[in-house]
Every structure is written in structure tokens, then in C-alpha cells.
Structure 1
Amino acid sequence: MSATSCNIHATAMVLGTTGFLITGPSGSGKSALALACIYEVRRRGRFAALVADDRVDLSLENDRIVARCPAAIRGLIEVRGSGIAEVETISACVLEGAIMPSRPPFDPRLPPEQEELPLQIGRSLPLLRLPVEGPLSPVDALVALLPEKLGL
């Protein structure tokens, strides 16, 4: 049996109209990836916002996975090595996918097919491993991999 809500270690953001959950171990670059994606999408003239950094409240509502920020950390994001920054956020989003930062050559060249991130609420999200170092920007990689969701 699973709960209909939980709090997890992750970051949540919206790019355009698509909600993403960024997952991975502490220090893997979740916050940096979120900031890079949000600001690049905004530079391209599209909507992008942070929902929550470090801790995300997840709930299952009308068969959709909804992400919210715990009140104590609303509007805050960690800039590793520099401190905590205040950023504009939105209160919630419907999640359509999960992203895991990937660092070649340390991570596998190709991910498992149709990989999913299981969640404690009894559902899962399609998981995309996204390179965070190298010549390709994370947003360009997302556009190449998910053109129908981002349309940038």
C-alpha cells in the first residue's frame, strides 16, 4: 500500500507548460540544473519557474502527480558553494517527467530503455538522464529529446 502524499529529496520546476522532477543523490547537481534550465528557457522567451528545491511535497490528485514546495523553503534554492538564493517560484505543478543529471564519461553512454522513477505515492514518472557537463546545454538536450513537450 502506498501513501497519497509524501515528501522527497528532489527539485521541481516548470519549463513552458511541462513540470519536471529532478532527482539524484545529494551533490549531483539538481539545483544547478534547475537554475540553468529555468534561466535559459526564460532567455528564449518562454515561461519557466521553480516549484521547490531540495524537498518536494508530492501528492496524487485526480490521477495526476502534483508537486508543491514545503512552506519553510518556498522561494529558496541552493547555489552550491555560494549559499541560498531567493528566486521567483510558483506554488504547484503537475509533473510529466523526471530528470536525473548525468555526467559523462562516468554514467552509462545509453540509459535503460523506458526507464521510470518509482514514487512513494504508488506511481512513477518517465525518467530521462540529462547530461549536465559538456558542449550541449541541458535545454538543447531536452528540446532534442522531448520536442513535443518543450517546443522551444
Structure 2
Amino acid sequence: MNAPFVNVHGTAIVLGTTGLLITGPSGSGKSALALSCLSEVRHRGRFAALVADDRVDLTLENGRIVARCPAAIRGLIEIRGSGIAEVDTVSACVLDWAIMPVRAPFDPRLPPEEELQLEIGRNLPLLRLPVEGPLSPVDALAALLPQI
């Protein structure tokens, strides 16, 4: 990686052809959301892979944000309370969206319009994704982002 990079706290995954950066404070459920989405999308017969969990290296390449995993944690994801697991990974992805897991009660009920997550010289559109309740996170993502 020749381009300058920024290391951020988050989890990067690919669902189909869409790159997602799951962001939020420690303990907010980023890794659990990633594992849930990876599992459900694969069960639906689509491609899904982890790029990085907990720490993500971001570079700006040709106007797009690219996520990579630091070598020391490649292929590893935390299952809170259980430890570290190995999962299928890809070496990099272009990020299309930032996702923030949110829990009920949602306050406010609707997010600000065109909310953005600022990363390495370019903004990613930010979606707040409910992670509790009757709707699966993948069904919520499919409603919000039909390309998934």
C-alpha cells in the first residue's frame, strides 16, 4: 500500500459488491452486526466477506475510499464474551456506505437527512441500522440499499 492511510476503529465487510464500514463506539455491536450480516447474506446464496474487524486501514485511491486489514488481525473477528474466531476474508474493498448500529429506543426516530461519516479526505453516506427487534439487519439493509 503506497498511498497514505488512516487507521480507524470499525469493521469493514463486503456484501455482494457493496463495501460497508460499520462504525460506532466500543461495545456498540459492530462485530456482531458484521457476523450476522455475513452469515445471513451467505445463507441467501450471495457473496459476503470480512475485510477487517476492530481496526481498518483506509486509503483514498482515485477518489474512492479503500478499506484494508492490518496484517496482525487479518482473518480474525471478535465474538464478544467468547473470544476470537477465524472467518473468510478479502484483502480489500471499496467502501460505499458507513453503517452505525443503533438500539431501541431510537432517539430521534428518524436520522438527520444526508448524514455523513467523515473519513480520509472523503465522506461516506451514513446509515443508522437497527440491530434489535423483529427486522433482521440484512432485511433492513435490503430495504435501505436494494443493491445488497
TM-superposed deviation, 1:108: 2.4
What RMSD in Å do the two structures reach over aligned CA positions? 1.1
1:139 paired residue number: 138
1:125 paired residue number: 124
Instruction: Report 1:1-152 matches (<5 A).
Output: 4-119=4-119, 121-147=120-146, 149-150=147-148
Q: 1:131 to 1:77 in 2, by over 3 A?
A: same
Looking at structure 2, the residues matched to 107 and 33 of structure 1 have their Cα atoms a distance apart, in angstroms, of: 20
Unaligned runs of 5+ in 1: none
Looking at structure 2, the residues matched to 95 and 144 of structure 1 have their Cα atoms a distance apart, in angstroms, of: 19
Looking at structure 1, the residues matched to 132 and 121 of structure 2 have their Cα atoms a distance apart, in angstroms, of: 32
Looking at structure 2, the residues matched to 108 and 132 of structure 1 have their Cα atoms a distance apart, in angstroms, of: 16
Unaligned runs of 5+ in 2: none
TM-score (norm 1): 0.93
Which amino acid letter does the alignment assign opposite residue 101 of structure 1? P
Which amino acid letter does the alignment assign opposite residue 144 of structure 1? A
Looking at structure 2, the residues matched to 85 and 111 of structure 1 have their Cα atoms a distance apart, in angstroms, of: 33
Which amino acid letter does the alignment assign opposite residue 10 of structure 1? G
Which amino acid letter does the alignment assign opposite residue 111 of structure 1? P
Q: Matched residue of 1:133: which SS?
A: coil
Which amino acid letter does the alignment assign opposite residue 133 of structure 1? E
Q: Matched residue of 2:141: which SS?
A: helix
TM-superposed deviation, 1:4: 4.2
TM-score (norm 2): 0.96
Q: Matched residue of 1:141: which SS?
A: helix
Looking at structure 2, the residues matched to 60 and 26 of structure 1 have their Cα atoms a distance apart, in angstroms, of: 25
TM-superposed deviation, 1:5: 1.7
- The runs of at least 4 consecutive aligned structure 1 residues that moved more than 3 Å come to none
Looking at structure 2, the residues matched to 115 and 4 of structure 1 have their Cα atoms a distance apart, in angstroms, of: 26
